[in-house]
Structure formats: C-alpha cells, structure tokens
Amino acid sequence: MVEITFLRYIHKNTVLHRMDARLKLAGMLVLSLAAGFASKWPHYAALFLVLLSAFLVARLPFKALLKDLKFFGLIIFLVLVVNAFKTPGAPFPYPGFPGFSIQGAVAGLRFAGRLIVIIMICTIMTGTTSLMTLKKALEWYLRPVPFVPEARIATMIGLTFMLIPLIFHNYREMMNAQKSRGLEGRKNPVRRIKFIVFPLLDRTLRRTEEIVYAMEARCYSEVRTRAVFQSKKSDWLLLGLCLAVFFFVIYRP
Amino acid sequence: MTILETQELTHVFPDGTVAIRDINLKVKAGEFIVLAGANGSGKTVLARHLNGLLQPTKGRVLLHGEPVSKNPAAARRKVGLVFQDPDSQFVGQTVAEDVAFGPENLNLPPAQVERLVKEALAAVGLSQLSMQHPFALSGGEKRKLAVAGILAMKPEIIIFDEPFTGLDYPGVIQVLEVILRLHQAGRTIIVITHELEKILAHAGRLIILYQGKMVEDGTVEEVISRSEKYGVRMPLRKGEKIESLTWLK
C-alpha cells in the first residue's frame, strides 16, 4: 500500500501542508475552474507554472507520482487522438492519417492539458491535506446549506478518496498474481479483463464491508467533533495567487 | 461480577448457514479469556455480536444487564473490537488522525480528543510515530495503532480478533506486551486466536468453539488437553507446563 503515492496524503512540514484546508480547497476549486475556461496557450502556461511550483513547494515525490499516473496517460492519449479525428479542419501534413486534422490535434492538446491540470490539482490537494482534514473542510462549507447532510456527503467523498489508492493497490497485487499464473499467455483481451475485473470488484466490496464494520465499531456518527480551523496571512496570499491565475484566464482572451 | 453475557445466542446467515448456535457465555470484570476454534468455527461472528455489530437471529447479548441491541452505540464504546486485518480498520491518513476517529465520533470537545489521542498513543508506545501514514508502519505497529484507536474510546472490555496473524517474532512480542499491559491496568481482555502457544500462558480461561457451538469453557488447565479434538493445536508437549509457553523473556 505504501508504494502508491497517487491520491495519498504525504506528510511534510511545508507551507502547503500547513495551509488552512478551507482556503486550500477554495484555491484548488478556483484553479479547476480556470482550467475549464482556459483556451489559449498562455492560460495553460500560467496554470502549469503555478501547479509545478506547488509540487516543488510541497516536496511531493514527482517521479513516483508520474509512475502511478501511467493509467491516466492512456486516457490522455485517447482524449488527444479522439479529438484530432473528430474535429474538422485542415488535414494533417503527413500522409497516412485520413481524418486527422491540425485543428483537431490542437483541440485534443487543450483537452488533454485540462485533464492533466485537474489530475495535478487533485494530487496536490490530497498529497498535502489528510482526508480527515479535507472532509472537515468540506463539512465546513456545506454546513450553512439547508437540507444538505454535510457530514454524510463529506464521509462519502472521504471514503471514495480512501478507496481509490486501495483499489490501485489491489489491482497491482492481483495483476502480479495473475501474471505469475500465466495471464500474459492469454491472447483474448476480454478474458484477460474478466480475470482481473471480477476478482478486483469482489475484493473491493469485501474490503468496503470491513471498513464499514470498523467504522461502526468505533461508533461512527454524523454528529462529530467539529474541526477548529485557523487561517494565516500566507494562506490568504496563496488563495490570492490562485485567484490571480483565474482572473488572468478569464480576462486575457 | 458479570459484565457481559450472551443468552442462547444464535446467528444464521441469509443463505441458511448457522454461524453460531445457542452460545451461553458470561464474562466477569478483569478476566483474561482466550477464545479458540478452527477456521469457520464462528469466533469472529461471536465477537461481532458482543459489541452489537451484528444482531442475533435468536438470543441476546447483555452488557451490565442491559441488552446490547437497545443501545449498540454505547456497547461499541464499552466493548472495543480490534479487527483481524488492521488495514481495514484505518480511516485516518496519519496515526494521530486515525486514533482521533473514535473520540470525534463521540462528539467530544477538540481539547479532550487531543488528550485522549496522546494518552492512547503513549499507552501503546506510538507517540513518536503520530504523523506517520498508518500503511507505512510495520505489522506490529499497525496492530498497536488499531489498539490505540480502540483505547482512545476508553473501553472496559477489549476483544482482539486474531491479533498475531501475519506477525513476525518482534511483532508478536510487541502486541503481546500491549495486551498484557492493558490487562494489568484492569481491562477485561478477550483474545480470539487459534495460535494458543502465543497467549495461553497469560490467560485465565479458555473457551473453544466448534462448528458454531461452545464446546469447552474452563480454566486453561482443564480445557487444553482436549483442544485437538476441535481442530486447535495442543501447544504443550508431555510434561511441559502452561507457564513455560510464554513468548516473553
């Protein structure tokens, strides 16, 4: 489990780790919105610059994270290729790619860029904020909203984030076990998927049941001790930086 | 004084499998009980009834004379259960955060939660690792963290479900020392295991479950010689004394 870094809290004593989780969450949401509105290369450059700086400041293990994100590499590649073929425009100068347009490739790169930005935001958020703190920050935001069971929603999101690395871990273990029993020898991809997906689903459901029992055994309740948040000047400055990137994306067409 | 009691406790799974049948058990304050049995004998199912995690098909569980089903939350606070697989017990991403989960569920003031966390971590010797990720701990440390998570809720009874499974020698010693310390501090201890040789020297009572039934209940000396009949390895050689089994130096 310990070798998986994606979506996992990595304890360090940095300004991002110490940042008020409410402001950090707000900052990350602002950056996610900025990613949605980004349309020009300078927008992406600004976003990548800020996020890469955040990675460095938070001292997150960049290489290990890249390794964990191999799976997303495939999705990003698919997004790029599908857009390149789907979007009409001037044909690609090299032969052998019928339907592949330059405009499509550019649109694909933009989509892929957005996806990478969102993945980076999630990784920074979860890498510098423990799930409990993230959950408490979410609860804090949802509390004034009427008819919203804030504790339940926060728990659901917290558990989802907790289960994702567990699923990755189980997948790796299962893949290795199946490989050691000659799975790679099977040519039919459907059968290969079947041998991985069903046991993985079964194991994940069993694990989830155990987590539920363990939470019940420790008196899980939606009426819990409320978190005490304290924000510093530096936290507001960091939020200000995120807002600056957001306005740069919105007002610089 | 009896603090925990089961009466005709029976649990049948939806597919008709009888997990436990007519279990009558009385636990006195301060006892140290080992609950043994082969795989599938119903040990874990019984443990999960003792703090109201499972509801019986027939019979009942009484805690201080009150049915557990009336107030399962109170029962879970008083009867702590340390799970077999500590990994599935962790909900926090740091050691301290995980220990705080129980007291926070009790809606205690933040200062009290912090105090309980510190006390629990000190009791199991994990204070230095409070900011570590639970999954980065060794096997023995993980078990100790699982115990701390329960201890922070100040239970009267602690049930350990297979506490030694998968542990190396130092891990077993670490966990054993914690269990004994808790018993010496006045807590009632129930250890579920089939690895009798690791714990029996310190227990006062041995109960054996077999195919969902409680087939033996008595002092260790009375019961131990019949354990192999029920699929539990007899850890003593001829002429050996129970005290000699201890893993502690």
CA distances from B143 to A170, A253, B69, B234 (A): 21, 57, 28, 26
pTM: 0.80
Indicate the DSSP class of residue A89: S
Q: What is the pLDDT of residue B13?
A: 94
User: Above 70 in pLDDT, residue A4?
Assistant: no
Using pLDDT thresholds of 50, 70 and 90, give the confidence band for residue B115: very high
Task: Give the type of residue at A239.
Answer: L
**Interface contacts (A, B; CB < 8 Å):** 90
A154: contact with B, CB 8 A cutoff: no
**Over pLDDT 70: what percentage of chain B?**
100
d(CA B201, CA A25): 53
For residue range A27-44, list pLDDT tens digits in order: 999 999 999 998 888 999
Q: Flag the least confident range among A144-148, B6-10, B95-99, B202-206.
A: A144-148
For residue range A143-156, list pLDDT tens digits in order: 899 888 888 888 88
Nearest Cα of chain A lies from the Cα of B22 at a distance, in angstroms, of 24
B76: contact with A, CB 8 A cutoff: yes
A221: contact with B, CB 8 A cutoff: yes
Q: What is the pLDDT of residue A168?
A: 80
Q: What is the pLDDT of residue B145?
A: 93
User: Least CB-CB distance to A9: which of B80, B85, B133?
Assistant: B133
CB-count burial class (<10 Å; 0-12, 13-18, 19+) for B204: middle
d(CA B183, CA A121): 48
For residue range A224-246, list pLDDT tens digits in order: 888 888 899 999 999 999 999 99
A71: contact with B, CB 8 A cutoff: no
- Greater model confidence, B77 or A190: B77
Q: Flag the least confident range among A70-74, A176-180, B13-17, B164-168.
A: A70-74
Indicate the DSSP class of residue A93: S
CA angle B74, B78, B80 (to 5 degrees): 115
B55: contact with A, CB 8 A cutoff: no
Q: Taking each helix axis from N to C terminus, what angle separates B95-105 and B110-124, rounded to the nearest 10 degrees?
A: 130
What b/e readout covers A185-194, taking b as 16+ CB neighbours within 10 angstroms?
A: eeeeeeeeee
- Measured between beta carbons, the chain A residues lying within 8 angstroms of B145 are none
- Measured between beta carbons, the chain A residues lying within 8 angstroms of B133 are 2, 8-11
Cβ proximity of B98 and B149 under 8 Å: yes
Residue closest to B211 by CA, chosen among B223, B199, B229, B192 = B229
In this prediction, residues B189-205 reach a mean pLDDT of 92
User: Least CB-CB distance to B105: which of A2, A10, A219?
Assistant: A219
Using pLDDT thresholds of 50, 70 and 90, give the confidence band for residue B246: confident
- Measured between beta carbons, the chain B residues lying within 8 angstroms of A133 are 97
Contact (CB<8Å) B93/A9: yes
- Measured between beta carbons, the chain A residues lying within 8 angstroms of B109 are 225
**Over pLDDT 70: what percentage of chain A?**
93
Q: What is the pLDDT of residue A207?
A: 85
Mutation test of the interface with chain B: which of A3, A162, A218, A229, choosing the one with the most B Cβ atoms within 10 A?
A: A218
- Greater model confidence, B58 or A98: B58
Contact (CB<8Å) A225/B109: yes
d(CA A106, CA B223): 77
User: Above 70 in pLDDT, residue A1?
Assistant: no
- Measured between beta carbons, the chain A residues lying within 8 angstroms of B105 are 218-221, 224
User: Above 80 in pLDDT, residue A249?
Assistant: yes
- Measured between beta carbons, the chain B residues lying within 8 angstroms of A204 are none
For residue range B155-180, list pLDDT tens digits in order: 999 999 999 988 888 889 989 999 99
Mutation test of the interface with chain A: which of B13, B98, B104, choosing the one with the most A Cβ atoms within 10 A?
A: B104
A206: contact with B, CB 8 A cutoff: no
Q: Provide the mean pLDDT of chain A.
A: 85
ipTM comes to: 0.84
Q: What is the pLDDT of residue A71?
A: 72
Using pLDDT thresholds of 50, 70 and 90, give the confidence band for residue A60: confident
Q: What is the pLDDT of residue A178?
A: 82
User: Least CB-CB distance to A219: which of B94, B100, B102?
Assistant: B102
d(CA B164, CA B160): 9
Using pLDDT thresholds of 50, 70 and 90, give the confidence band for residue A94: low
Nearest Cα of chain B lies from the Cα of A205 at a distance, in angstroms, of 12
Using pLDDT thresholds of 50, 70 and 90, give the confidence band for residue B127: very high
